[in-house]
Copies of this chain bind each other. A is one copy, B any other.
Amino acid sequence: MKRKITLKQIAKELDVSISTVSKALSNSKEISEDTTQKIQAFAKLYNYRPNNIALSLKNRKTKTIGILIPEIVHHFFSTVIRGIELVANNRGYNVIVGLSNESFTKEIINMEMLANGSIDGFILSISKETLLKQDYHHFHATINQGMPIVLFDRVVNEVKCDKVVVDDFKGSVKAVNKLISTGCKNIALITTMDYVSVGRLRTQGYLEALQEHKMHADSNLILKIDDSLDVEDQLDNLENEVENFFKVNKKIDGVFAVNELYAVTAMKVVRKLGLHIPNDVQVIGFTDGVLSKHARPSLTTVSQHGQKIGEKAADLLIDRLERDELEEADYIEESDRNEHFKTVVIETALIERDSTK
């Protein structure tokens, strides 16, 4: 078991100086043909690779991106990671992943761990608890230290940084329009509590679509699920809640759910009540996950393009990192670079399957 070889060892073996080795390996023309050959051969033989950590320390940058998400066992977040990883790797970056598990404290701890030199910048989606507390000081602190952040999906105006979101509002309008155009008169909305930004926006889209068609928005038809402490075991709970909702509102003939789980649960309940999908009740869900394709009937969804979100977020972050690097040299006014942050909107698409007519 021989440890990885270093410049120093090569230098000693070949009886030259460390800097000669370093130069030879980077093909510097300062070094003679002969020694270069010799050194490169030796290095290859021993499979020399420069130590990333030493390079990071020297260059004051790590070439790695920190991802911080609320939960990884979640199709949407997985696809985002895949997108990030894809472009990060292509552009020479690594990816380090932290999970907040929807907890404010864990979010902070994780950020602190990573912010101390391990990464060059963050791509993150805010935990529910943080959104609830509306305490964003850790994001401000990180940004103030000169570490860029890109927020995705669950974003917040208070944090000044680049953002990538899907068109929650328009996507919801699209979905509800579809339900209206196929004859639904009483469209229910199953959503989360308002503090999750995407929940709020999707609710607004729902209301907007109704209004456009001069349909009355009946608050009884809106079910807000409190999943602030959502655990797997709460599945039954969810089903009961949805079932009660449907029993009280028997006239429902269309459902728009802000996520896949709610949509699938609604379908399950509807069937249990002896109704037919899509003839009696049509269902559309936001989020295009695995369940949608394989549900019976397959679920019409508003696709979020998670991978695209990830790719875009990574591009935004790396662009900024490399721009900052240039500007560091050229001494550009801070105000000139920190002011204009982009918010990229990824278009949603309505994927029509069998839960709608």
- The answer for the CA separation of A64 and B118 in the assembled complex, in Å, is 10
Query: Counting CB contacts under 8 A, is A145 at the interface?
Result: yes
Instruction: Say yes or no: A141-B53 contact (C-beta < 8 A), given A3-B146, A78-B78, A296-B296.
Output: no
Give the residues in chain B near A162, CB-CB below 8 Å: none
Query: Counting CB contacts under 8 A, is A98 at the interface?
Result: yes
A99 & B117 in contact (Cβ 8 Å cutoff) = no
Query: Counting CB contacts under 8 A, is A105 at the interface?
Result: no
- The answer for the CA separation of A72 and B81 in the assembled complex, in Å, is 8
Contact flags A138-157 to B (C-beta < 8 A → 1, else 0): 00010011100000000000
B97 & A113 in contact (Cβ 8 Å cutoff) = no
Instruction: Say yes or no: A53-B51 contact (C-beta < 8 A), given A82-B72, A291-B291.
Output: no
Give the residues in chain B near A110, CB-CB below 8 Å: 89
- The answer for the CA separation of A110 and B56 in the assembled complex, in Å, is 18
> Which of B72, B78, B144, B291 is close to A1, meaning CB atoms less than 8 Å apart?
B144
Query: Counting CB contacts under 8 A, is A50 at the interface?
Result: yes
- The answer for the CA separation of A98 and B93 in the assembled complex, in Å, is 11
Query: Counting CB contacts under 8 A, is A36 at the interface?
Result: no
Query: Counting CB contacts under 8 A, is A304 at the interface?
Result: no
> Which of B75, B97, B112 is close to A96, meaning CB atoms less than 8 Å apart?
B97
- Which of A72, A81, A99 has the most chain B CB atoms closer than 10 A to its own CB? A72
A144 & B2 in contact (Cβ 8 Å cutoff) = yes
Query: Counting CB contacts under 8 A, is A94 at the interface?
Result: yes
- The answer for the CA separation of A296 and B272 in the assembled complex, in Å, is 12
Query: Counting CB contacts under 8 A, is A191 at the interface?
Result: no
Query: Counting CB contacts under 8 A, is A35 at the interface?
Result: no
Residues on A lying within 8 angstroms of B by beta carbon are 1-4, 47, 49-54, 56-57, 62, 64, 72-75, 78-79, 81-82, 85, 89, 94-99, 110, 112-118, 141, 144-146, 235, 264, 268, 271, 289-291, 293-296, 334, 338
A sample of 18 more A-B contacts (CB under 8 A), given A1-B144, A4-B145, is A1-B145, A2-B144, A49-B112, A49-B116, A53-B53, A53-B118, A73-B75, A73-B82, A82-B99, A94-B96, A94-B98, A94-B113, A94-B118, A97-B97, A268-B294, A271-B296, A294-B295, A296-B296
